[in-house]
Chains A and B, each alone.
Chain A
């Protein structure tokens, strides 16, 4: 029994170390963003808001922030719509070529982003759609729709399959049933999908960098600054990006979990 307890303590410390490794870069980036040293080390320098003042005074950063906002909101709406349609089709219908149909939406995340970036860049140039903000939106909705689809599909799994038929038997048309039964039932998952796809889009840099042209998003700005040299401004922008994407992912998870709790109780 004693060895068992020792083992538990060792495993506990091990898990803590893994979490420390995973969260260290995020926490240090936040600390460095308030640190006066250009090359941060131990012991830390003085507290400063210099880097924040710098980025707030930089019109490029503001423009990029606006671009990022437009891209992630538009992507979230399109990707979640596509994800919902596909999840519902998969839930409700059986049809020929369903395997390839599902592969069509689920494959993109398994292809390295650098490859998608090259393919998108070449294709958008070919069809005359490159270098625009909407090019990034389109590319991101291809990449993120599977996440929305997965979240919504899991929610539909919890729906009693007879619920839909019951609504039909009570005289509701398919469209009315969709509006009054299925969409309300999926609402938490739809919100979760919106937040998750917005987060992924907000952080994506490889594809954005290739297809954005002059319309840079925040991660693209970071990528360009980082290529130059160590510049603590990156930590300030990074802290901002971390806070937004972490908030989005937490919200996505909260909505995802809230419905699980409810369905467990019922």
Chain B
């Protein structure tokens, strides 16, 4: 990099540097800051008026239903994260250590496709598959089981979350574990470490950073998704995204929706920062 002569700012440098600054300030920082400001506005006769009042905050945060919804969302997103991490792990382990380089590439290639492919339609498809007379109950019927109610339950919501998060979690776990120095695992084996102990004491600690990042992404995605709890969970329990949706779309109460949104962002930042701090914390005795 020493051969780069230009540290000075000229027209050329600014041409590449400025577009994103302008664009994101107007259309990203602007909206987010305005949303924060909006949480202090008032709504009178269905019209929003600019003000600086704490009434939205005190109204929302004193309601039982807000906190019910808050803790439900945190809990179900945490359960979703644990499920996705556990379900993905054996698959990622197989792809990272047992599969050939080209199989691994193909697997990741295939998993990237659904991650970017209409989540909404996939959820609707689950809605049909899991319904009372759907495909799953149809198959179970042949072997004399069911029918089971899977929609409008937490199970339904979790199926939706897995649809959303599993491809990404498997990809991140696979890439992380594939990058581990294989000689360290060999060494552990040669020193008499049993396979399961190798996983717990060598592989997981070595891939800690990547695993925590996968978990953070999984939590963010589940925490912020309204489609799975709405269609597959049947809004039996109102999650925070559904609360935002209802408050914005039907109630015209944008400022109160903003309060919910800010609480969500605060929670996500707290969790992400804690996670990242854990991920990069050096273990005792490590340099």
Contacts and interface: CB of A to CB of B under 8 A. Distances in A.
Interface of A: 8, 11-12, 14-15, 18-19, 21-26, 28-29, 32, 39-43, 81-82, 85-86, 88-89, 92-95, 101, 104-105, 107-108, 110-116, 118-124, 126, 138-139, 141-142, 145, 161-162, 165, 168, 174-175, 196, 199-200, 203, 205-206, 210, 219, 222-223, 226, 230, 234-235, 237-238, 241-242, 245-246, 248-250, 253, 257
A86 B20 contact: yes
B16 A175 contact: no
B98 A110 contact: no
Given A139-B27, A235-B125, 16 more contacts: A15-B95, A18-B166, A25-B122, A32-B128, A40-B135, A41-B138, A95-B17, A110-B272, A112-B241, A119-B34, A122-B34, A123-B31, A165-B4, A235-B124, A246-B113, A246-B117
B17 A26 contact: no
Nearest to B134: A41
Contacts of A28: 125, 128-129, 135
B79 interface: no
B180 interface: no
A42 B121 contact: no
Interface stretch (B183-191, B203-211, B254-262): B254-262
Contacts of A206: 226
B94 A126 contact: no
Interface string B20-58: 110111011111101100100000000000000000000
Contacts of B93: 11
A203 B128 contact: no
Chain A contact residues, majority secondary structure: helix
Contacts of B231: 226
Mostly, the B contact residues are helix
B24 A19 contact: no
A140 to B, nearest CB: 10
Interface size class of B (residues with CB under 8 A): 35 or more
Interface in B148-164: 162-163
B29 A234 contact: no
Contacts of B91: 11, 14-15, 18
Contact of B35 (A122, A161, A200): A122
A69 to B, nearest CB: 15
A234 B88 CA distance: 30
B244 interface: yes
Contact of A85 (B19, B127, B128, B272): B19
A174 B126 CA distance: 54
Contacts of B114: 22-23, 26
A175 B125 CA distance: 51
Contact of A253 (B5, B112, B261, B268): B112
A238 B124 contact: yes
Contacts of B162: 21
